[in-house]
Amino acid sequence: MVQVDPRPQTGDTVTSVVGTGSDTRNKGLSGNSVGLLGSSVIGISTVAPVYCLTSTLGPTVSKVGLQMPAVFLAGFLPMLLVAFAYRELNKAVPDCGTSFTWSVKAFGPRIGWMCGWGLVIATIIVLSNLAGVATSFFYLLLGELTGNPAVAALDGNKVVHVLTCLAFIAVATAISYRGMTATKGVQYALVGLQLAVLAVFIVMAVIKARAGEFAGSLDFSWTWFDPFAVESFSAFTAGLSLSIFMFWGWDTCLTVNEETEGSKQTPGRAALLAMVVLIGSYLLTAVAAQMFSGVGDKGPGLGNPDTADNVFATLANPVMGTVLGVLLFVAVLASAAASLQTTFIPVARTVLAMSAYEALPPSFARIHPRFRSPGKATVAAGVATGVFYAVMTFLSENVLVDTIYALGLMICFYYAITAFACAWFFRRELRNSTRDLLFKGVFPALGGVVLTAVFLKTLIDMWNPAYGSGSSVLGIGSVFIIGVGLLLVGFLIMLVMQRRSPGFFRGEVLTRSTPAMVVEE
């Protein structure tokens, strides 16, 4: 049957979709707005592949040397296993709350609420970082185009930097506010540009490496894909943590499931397609960059600590020449800007779902009557991002850096819970077939175990003040304090909401029942 939700929404009638024990709610989003290609593009865009590569190639090489391609593959494996979990859960419960909704149904309201908080706070951190990166590359690109170092130096002015950053956040918020149609159109152009420029870079790097134009160039070797060749387990786990971060964001495909054509099947397929494109791009770029630059710690070598935070800025001209090299700067800016815009999608829709199920104040469940988007949740995410970045920038750049380092903890936290939620949610179906056993049980559980291990190892490493900026409080690394502190803040907010919305926390709104959902529209 279909029950009417008594809480009215702006310009909308919201119904509870109930079938065979399911109790998820239609939240009024614009249905059938995104297809398979659009959903995949949104997932790729959120990951920001070009930005991830320019900022991660150097640090990864510094940890694992020539085994960078092997570590990228190792980081892909748990993400793929978790993607199977997302796909199976989405088939049963296609809800924009994704990790929050599924973990509530599997483990109850408190674990589910904290899982949703992990996604929300991780996204806010990423949004602030992406805005800062977009700002930096904006002035770097202007400096390249004008040939004026003073223009590029404007990024070093805190007031100018923060104001520009807030402008980027405002534009991204406005586009996301206008719904999936506006979002999809922008992303086709930005993602297409990224992948095209990356393809040109890969081809030219390989050609010049084989021609021996750079003294540090290397011949390709299949041994680069051997994870057992990494010098130590500690180095391997450090590289693995970086690799996992590079894949974060693909699950945005699932958060638009209520707005996707074929909401049960398409989002899961889009997530897997996005993952394949990402791992292909990462491996080809890693191999091409190693062949051209090698892993030395001088000049354009990938192991040079002076260029590790922006490898493409160093390789643009040597690989692509002066004219085409500018395109690489444009691609990094486009990558950061595109991801900034799409990263609003998961946080806004998670907040929408938490509000719709009474886990957050009901005002966040309002849907814009024209754009059919979670308007208030989107604006709230934009404001939170802008305030967070501005305060952290002026308060302490070390704190801002350490907050970004704490991001990996949040990612592993909510991905692992979601993976385990899949195995538990389908526990009664695992004997139905070999496929159910593997894709609903074994694979998700393995992904959860790996991410839990990375979570615990990261937690231990964070205790050391040397992790991150080197700051500490009473001898404890500030990254540890920030990471654990943000989780505790979520726990305290949960206690407040428990008093305001006792029904949700008593399991009366979104139950622990696990049958497959029958959608009635």
As a whole number of angstroms, the distance between CA 489 and CA 215 comes to 52
Residue 234 has pLDDT above 60, yes or no: yes
Residue 253 has pLDDT above 60, yes or no: yes
Residue 10 has pLDDT above 60, yes or no: no
Q: What is the pLDDT of residue 436?
A: 93
Alpha-carbon distance values, 83 to 86, 111, 420, 456 (Å)? 5, 20, 12, 21
Residue 305: other Cβ atoms inside 10 A: 10
Q: What is the pLDDT of residue 241?
A: 77
Q: What is the pLDDT of residue 85?
A: 92
DSSP, collapsed to helix, strand or coil, labels residue 260 as strand
Q: What is the pLDDT of residue 11?
A: 39
As a whole number of angstroms, the distance between CA 403 and CA 46 comes to 19
Tens digit of pLDDT for each residue in 178-187? 766 656 667 7
- Reported as a pLDDT band with limits 50, 70 and 90, residue 481 is confident
> What percentage of the chain reaches a pLDDT higher than 70?
88
Tens digit of pLDDT for each residue in 21-31? 356 666 656 66
As a whole number of angstroms, the distance between CA 314 and CA 302 comes to 10
Q: What is the mean pLDDT of residues 90-108?
A: 90
Q: What is the pLDDT of residue 15?
A: 36
**Nearest Cα to Cα of residue 73 among 276, 294, 335, 296:** 276
Q: Looking up tokens 């999608």, which residue turns up?
A: 345
Q: Looking up tokens 């350490």, which residue turns up?
A: 402
Secondary structure (DSSP) of 450-516? HHHHHHHHHHHHHTSTTSSSS-EETTEEHHHHHHHHHHHHHHHHHHHHHHH-HHHHTTSSS-S--PP
